[in-house]
Amino acid sequence: MNTPLLIARRTAQSTTSTQRIMVHIATLAVAVSVAVMIVTVAVVSGFKEQVRGLIGGFTSEVTVTDLSTYGTGNTSQILDTPSLRSFLAESCPDVDITIDAYATRGGVLRSEVGSVAIMVKGVDSLRTLAPLQGRVTEGVLPATGGARRRELLISSTTAQSLGVGVGDRVELLLTRGEGLPQREVMKVCGIYASAGEEMGGLSLADIRNVRRMNGWQENGISGYEISTHGDDAVAAEVASRLNMRLIFDYTGDENLTAVTMQELHPSIFSWLGTHDVNAAVVVVIMVVVALFNMATALLILVLERTRMVGVLKSLGMSNRQVRRIFHYRAAMLIARGVGIGAAVALVAVLVQRYTHCIALDAEAYYVDHVPVAVEAWWVVLLCVAFALVVLLLLSLTTSIVARIEPAEAIKYE
């Protein structure tokens, strides 16, 4: 028979008013701490998932482009050949990758209302636009097959600045190397939900239109987008392998390099990284708050049971066994608080997930509502880890039991 557990259960049923108050405060502190931690991690995970998915609508996990123009906003022609595609595919034989070509051109989009600077990205396959489909609020994606059509998909921010809608014509102004202006008339085929300043200036079109703007050959491209169908670690490995092959084995005239999505959009992923730091700070603060309240409650429980401790020790119970009584008592309080906190947090997360009741400014946060993502494994892991950490640290509080002398303790009424 587990005597300390039996005593802990009996003492839980017989408490004074002071003990009940402290028990409720401690339970509430644990519940609030767990709820705040789960909601915080859910929001951070949601932001990562949503923003990553958003960026995935504009670029793939790995991009191969000319090193001389990488990060400058300019572009130089690379010839899309079967041999180059085969070279890239053979560099990662054990990874399932998909290779798609793209071409870019910067310019100024103008209407009767105003003008905005944009970057036009041409794609050769609707497969690369599939992740963006859910963000198209009006119209359709630009056609990439059949007869070439001068269609342009623009952001809601661009559409608002120009005062145009689906079906309207806009003028795209470009400059050639000699500084001579070039004029292209395009038709707005669709509008996608804007997602921050960095993405709001991007427009999408058929790659053949961009080739014509750049004066390139029929197989001229700015680079390749490579989908790895895996996580960030797989993308980093693919980029590393491609760079090694491009440096030592590639014999073409182009100076090619492979970069990951994180390297193409460092500001966005740095912003997401700050959320990890914030989440860690919140978790630490919540653990400290719960620990402080639990330690206070447990200390009161020990002091108000001083006479019981003296009697048990006089009957031969060791300090270790007496401390186990209060460990069990603390575990009961923690389990109750964790259960309540987890239940409240999951309800709040599910409500936000399906109702989007808390809105955000999409221009500042890339999404128009607070995104949440929750998985059972990390919720259970977080709750168990929190309970164990608090319970282990409470061992210091129960050390006061060793200082209680039976002869003195039994004098208390």
Does 185 lie in the same domain as 249?
Answer: yes
**Token pair of 119 as six digits:** 């970057």
Whether the CB-CB separation of 97 and 227 falls below 8 Å is answered with yes
Whether the CB-CB separation of 400 and 225 falls below 8 Å is answered with no
The pLDDT value recorded for residue 95 is: 82
Does 104 lie in the same domain as 212?
Answer: yes
Does 377 lie in the same domain as 272?
Answer: yes
The pLDDT value recorded for residue 346 is: 93
Q: Which residue has the tokens 């209680």?
A: 404
Q: Which residues of the chain have pLDDT under 50?
A: none
Q: What are the pLDDT digits (tens) for 243-295?
A: 898 888 888 777 888 888 888 777 777 777 777 788 888 888 888 888 777 77
Rg (CA), the chain: 31
Cα distances (angstroms) measured from residue 331 to each of 12, 284, 369: 12, 20, 38
Instruction: Express as a percent the part of the chain with pLDDT over 70.
Output: 83
Name the domain boundary from 230, 264, 298: 264
**Mean predicted lDDT score pLDDT of the chain:** 80
Name the domain boundary from 203, 236, 264: 264
Rounded Cα–Cα distance for residues 148 and 146 (Å): 6
Q: What are the pLDDT digits (tens) for 302-318?
A: 666 667 767 766 777 77
Reference 140, options 100, 192, 202, 210; nearest CA is 192
Does 404 lie in the same domain as 311?
Answer: yes
Structural domain for 18, as ranges: 3-55+268-409
The pLDDT value recorded for residue 200 is: 60
The pLDDT value recorded for residue 345 is: 92
Does 309 lie in the same domain as 160?
Answer: no
Q: Which residue has the tokens 């009424």?
A: 413
Does 274 lie in the same domain as 213?
Answer: no
Type and span of the H or E element at 330: helix 319-355
Give the bridge partners for 224, in sequence order: 64, 101
Name the domain boundary from 264, 282, 298: 264
The pLDDT value recorded for residue 364 is: 66
Does 208 lie in the same domain as 349?
Answer: no
Does 117 lie in the same domain as 169?
Answer: yes
Rounded Cα–Cα distance for residues 37 and 386 (Å): 10
Does 273 lie in the same domain as 178?
Answer: no
Does 73 lie in the same domain as 32?
Answer: no
Does 339 lie in the same domain as 230?
Answer: no
Does 279 lie in the same domain as 249?
Answer: no
State the total domains in the chain. 2
